[in-house]
Chains A and B, each alone.
Chain A
């Protein structure tokens, strides 16, 4: 903090300063260099590339030209914006995906699970937690493949189960690709919300609920009037975090490849296709910049909420 050598008595007061500022700076330098090389430099590089027509192969790979806002204008071209396989379609699809799988699916399911396991015996609670968390910690490629095998029309486990109870089999990955990735992402991410709400519920003093029991309140009344109001802060945090994660998720690619016919092409997958399958680095960088701005907006909301909460507690 201080740049000039402070007098001895003053330094004693600052018991948190373990190192001199010079030593602190020296220790920070390696991390600072790493962050600049791998985070800050690429950040500005992507912004720069988004104003060129750089490609990976072909003439413009070696001699990219400065094209101004052409990449951005192409992304927001009203004539093609809403077409399937274009940026606008993908953005709207991602919004629907976030609403359905994160805000409704993950948060609601997490809240429900967290509330229900408050009252069950500890053994059942632990088993439930284990299974839900397992879905969360398994490597993405493994569960992507497992779900693919589960949903396959001809050899899939789900269709075998359906047929064994006399129900007609479905062609889920092709007919309902959007709902497949919604259910998949809900299943995948509910564990985080559940754990967060679970610890939030545990922090409520049990006497509140005991008093409510004496007054003869139902479980729903306890949830609505005691549980929910006391964890409101946690809910907001949870919603913002899972919104950001779901907005950027790429795992549905493992199930559907963004298809069929771009029906599950979320912006992250769209970005990947433009940059690394069509090899258009310039346009891909422009998509990346827009995604960064959207994420920045989410992050600002999150940070400002955190600041508002701090003085209260």
Chain B
């Protein structure tokens, strides 16, 4: 019995040493991207361009794309569970802000540990700036390769502005200007003129596109300059009062869209259908959500849709004394720490992020890419927004507790926009919850 096993093992070893290509390696790639659905261009790029080209160059590697159609938070949940139990795709799309929590929890390994020299000597690092590289890094180590970065702004419907008698090149300089415009639009029959994300269902989109964009205008961030979480302050109260004005007191926004499970899509549909005239979102909204052919494509987009900078509460009151504010994040791809084929996974990841493939991505969806040798295409929207907003922008804290605090922020906004709690009560709850997460010594009260 033992001899037979040994003979079989030797035979298998012998065969593999002669005929390596016969043993194909299978790689699974996951992203929240579906052809004809969310992030359609990414899925198309991978399926039609990257994977065929890679398989042609590496006949012994089979790559399969899993198109994940759920929400961001659901993918996070699945990846957290998969990566801690040794399951999951070999390569996955990943939001940079989750890197610290996953790295600390052992659900991600740094590319140094996982790949080694091949990673360190990759040609691409010469073309990716340290700032962009830091999006997918934590504690001095790199965990993945970024695809690009983004900026946030107010998207406007020029046709509705015209209907309400507002200037087409409207540029607010304070929150009051934004609210005034919303009131005029409402009078002109626009159902829910202003969309500032709130609530639990939208996940990080509430924190980034809603809460941060308002809070930065009060001169504060979620953490102070020492990295301590601000748990009570005038800025938090002003932000919550802004939410209250929009959704509870004056009905300037679609309250239901903040509370329902599919609320974010409802907010997109509102903008498409002309029920919302001002929507605070990232450039992803332009590049992907409202792109021609997408589910929420806006008809005659070039003439109807505009954008403007998000103003601070009052001129000069924004973070770092700015008049206007923005915040940036970034997504990229990471490798499963338990993958059977790290070398092949890295081969695919670096191939996908090569100059040739990333340039090809621009044909599917022009954007601000992580590689400096991939030119920003001749696209007025992208050139203007990146030139105007990148100098103003801010980044989220690179902290393993940020994700948990962000959930509390979403809860706090939901309590206010549902009319359940007053801003003061909601902030008091937030304070207790955040102290429970990070410990009182890592928080600060400014009131």
**Contact string against B for A residues 35-74, beta-carbon threshold 8 Å, 1 for contact and 0 otherwise:** 0000000000000000000011111011000000000001
Judged by a CB distance under 8 angstroms, whether A80 is at the interface is yes
Interface residues of B in 380-430 (CB under 8 A from A): 400-401, 403-404, 407, 411, 414-415, 418, 420, 429
Shortest CB distance B24–A (Å): 33
Contact segment of A130-138, A200-208, A212-220, A253-261: A253-261
Judged by a CB distance under 8 angstroms, whether A279 is at the interface is yes
Interface residues of B in 243-277 (CB under 8 A from A): 256, 259-261
Q: How far is the CA of A85 from the CA of B432 in the complex (A)?
A: 14
Judged by a CB distance under 8 angstroms, whether B107 is at the interface is yes
Check A85/B411 contact, CB under 8 A, given A80-B429, A174-B259, A259-B200.
Answer: yes
Shortest CB distance B150–A (Å): 23
Judged by a CB distance under 8 angstroms, whether B80 is at the interface is yes
Chain A: number of interface residues, binned into ranges: 20 to 34
Interface residues of A in 66-110 (CB under 8 A from B): 74, 79-80, 83-85
Check A62/B260 contact, CB under 8 A, given A259-B200, A260-B418, A261-B415.
Answer: no
**In the complex, what residues of B have CB within 8 A of residue A85's CB?**
411
**In the complex, what residues of B have CB within 8 A of residue A79's CB?**
432
Check A278/B418 contact, CB under 8 A, given A85-B411, A257-B201.
Answer: no
Choice from A57, A83, A257, A261 contacting B101 with Cβ under 8 Å: A57
Judged by a CB distance under 8 angstroms, whether B77 is at the interface is yes
**In the complex, what residues of A have CB within 8 A of residue B211's CB?**
none
Shortest CB distance B310–A (Å): 27
Q: How far is the CA of A260 from the CA of B420 in the complex (A)?
A: 11
The answer to whether B105 and A74 touch across the interface, beta carbons within 8 angstroms, is no
The answer to whether B260 and A61 touch across the interface, beta carbons within 8 angstroms, is no
Q: How far is the CA of A153 from the CA of B257 in the complex (A)?
A: 12
**Contact string against B for A residues 167-205, beta-carbon threshold 8 Å, 1 for contact and 0 otherwise:** 000010110000000000000000000000000000000
Interface residues of B in 92-106 (CB under 8 A from A): 98, 101-102, 104-106
Judged by a CB distance under 8 angstroms, whether A20 is at the interface is no
The answer to whether A261 and B418 touch across the interface, beta carbons within 8 angstroms, is yes
The answer to whether B107 and A57 touch across the interface, beta carbons within 8 angstroms, is yes
The answer to whether A56 and B260 touch across the interface, beta carbons within 8 angstroms, is no
Shortest CB distance B139–A (Å): 12
Check A277/B73 contact, CB under 8 A, given A174-B259, A257-B201.
Answer: yes
Judged by a CB distance under 8 angstroms, whether A245 is at the interface is no
Judged by a CB distance under 8 angstroms, whether A276 is at the interface is yes
Judged by a CB distance under 8 angstroms, whether B436 is at the interface is yes
Check A83/B106 contact, CB under 8 A, given A58-B401, A257-B201.
Answer: no
Check A259/B400 contact, CB under 8 A, given A56-B81, A58-B101, A85-B411.
Answer: no
**Contact string against A for B residues 184-224, beta-carbon threshold 8 Å, 1 for contact and 0 otherwise:** 00000000000000001100000000000000000000000
The answer to whether A171 and B401 touch across the interface, beta carbons within 8 angstroms, is no
Judged by a CB distance under 8 angstroms, whether B322 is at the interface is no
The answer to whether A259 and B432 touch across the interface, beta carbons within 8 angstroms, is no
The answer to whether A57 and B261 touch across the interface, beta carbons within 8 angstroms, is no
**In the complex, what residues of A have CB within 8 A of residue B106's CB?**
61-62
Choice from B105, B429, B436 contacting A57 with Cβ under 8 Å: B105
Chain B: number of interface residues, binned into ranges: 20 to 34
Shortest CB distance A201–B (Å): 42
Choice from B98, B105, B407, B414 contacting A278 with Cβ under 8 Å: B407
**Smallest CB gap from B419: residue in A:** A261
Judged by a CB distance under 8 angstroms, whether B84 is at the interface is yes
**Contact string against B for A residues 116-136, beta-carbon threshold 8 Å, 1 for contact and 0 otherwise:** 000000000000000000000
Q: How far is the CA of A279 from the CA of B106 in the complex (A)?
A: 14
The answer to whether B411 and A57 touch across the interface, beta carbons within 8 angstroms, is no
**In the complex, what residues of A have CB within 8 A of residue B432's CB?**
79-80
The answer to whether A84 and B105 touch across the interface, beta carbons within 8 angstroms, is no
The answer to whether A259 and B411 touch across the interface, beta carbons within 8 angstroms, is no
Q: How far is the CA of A257 from the CA of B414 in the complex (A)?
A: 14
Choice from A84, A174, A277 contacting B260 with Cβ under 8 Å: A174
**Contact string against B for A residues 273-288, beta-carbon threshold 8 Å, 1 for contact and 0 otherwise:** 0001111000000000
Shortest CB distance A80–B (Å): 7
**In the complex, what residues of A have CB within 8 A of residue B98's CB?**
57
The answer to whether A261 and B261 touch across the interface, beta carbons within 8 angstroms, is no
The answer to whether A57 and B256 touch across the interface, beta carbons within 8 angstroms, is no
Q: How far is the CA of A174 from the CA of B414 in the complex (A)?
A: 14
Choice from A56, A83, A256, A260 contacting B80 with Cβ under 8 Å: A56
**In the complex, what residues of B have CB within 8 A of residue A57's CB?**
80, 98, 101-102, 104-105, 107, 400, 403
The answer to whether B401 and A277 touch across the interface, beta carbons within 8 angstroms, is no
**Smallest CB gap from B414: residue in A:** A261
Shortest CB distance B287–A (Å): 28
The answer to whether B105 and A261 touch across the interface, beta carbons within 8 angstroms, is no
**In the complex, what residues of A have CB within 8 A of residue B414's CB?**
261
The answer to whether B104 and A62 touch across the interface, beta carbons within 8 angstroms, is yes
The answer to whether B400 and A83 touch across the interface, beta carbons within 8 angstroms, is no
Choice from B80, B256, B261, B415 contacting A257 with Cβ under 8 Å: B261
The answer to whether A61 and B407 touch across the interface, beta carbons within 8 angstroms, is no
Check A74/B101 contact, CB under 8 A, given A57-B403, A174-B259.
Answer: no
**In the complex, what residues of A have CB within 8 A of residue B259's CB?**
174, 259-261
**In the complex, what residues of A have CB within 8 A of residue B101's CB?**
57-58
The answer to whether B411 and A61 touch across the interface, beta carbons within 8 angstroms, is no
Shortest CB distance B334–A (Å): 13
Check A61/B420 contact, CB under 8 A, given A56-B84, A261-B259.
Answer: no
The answer to whether B429 and A61 touch across the interface, beta carbons within 8 angstroms, is no
Interface centre among B84, B259, B401 (most CB of A within 10 A): B259
Check A61/B201 contact, CB under 8 A, given A80-B429, A85-B411.
Answer: no
**Smallest CB gap from B261: residue in A:** A257
The answer to whether A59 and B104 touch across the interface, beta carbons within 8 angstroms, is yes
Q: How far is the CA of A70 from the CA of B163 in the complex (A)?
A: 58
**Smallest CB gap from A74: residue in B:** B436
Selected A-B contacts with CB under 8 Å, 24 pairs: A55-B105, A56-B80, A56-B84, A56-B105, A57-B107, A57-B400, A58-B403, A59-B104, A62-B105, A80-B429, A84-B415, A85-B411, A153-B256, A173-B260, A256-B261, A257-B261, A259-B200, A259-B201, A259-B260, A261-B415, A261-B420, A276-B81, A278-B404, A279-B404
14 further contact pairs, Cβ within 8 A, besides A56-B84, A174-B256: A55-B105, A57-B80, A57-B98, A57-B104, A57-B400, A58-B104, A58-B400, A61-B84, A62-B106, A79-B432, A84-B420, A173-B260, A260-B259, A261-B414
- Shortest beta-carbon contacts, A-B, top 3: A61-B105, A260-B259, A57-B105
* Interface residues in chain B, defined as those with a beta carbon under 8 Å from any beta carbon in chain A: 73, 77, 80-81, 84, 98, 101-102, 104-107, 200-201, 256, 259-261, 400-401, 403-404, 407, 411, 414-415, 418, 420, 429, 432, 436
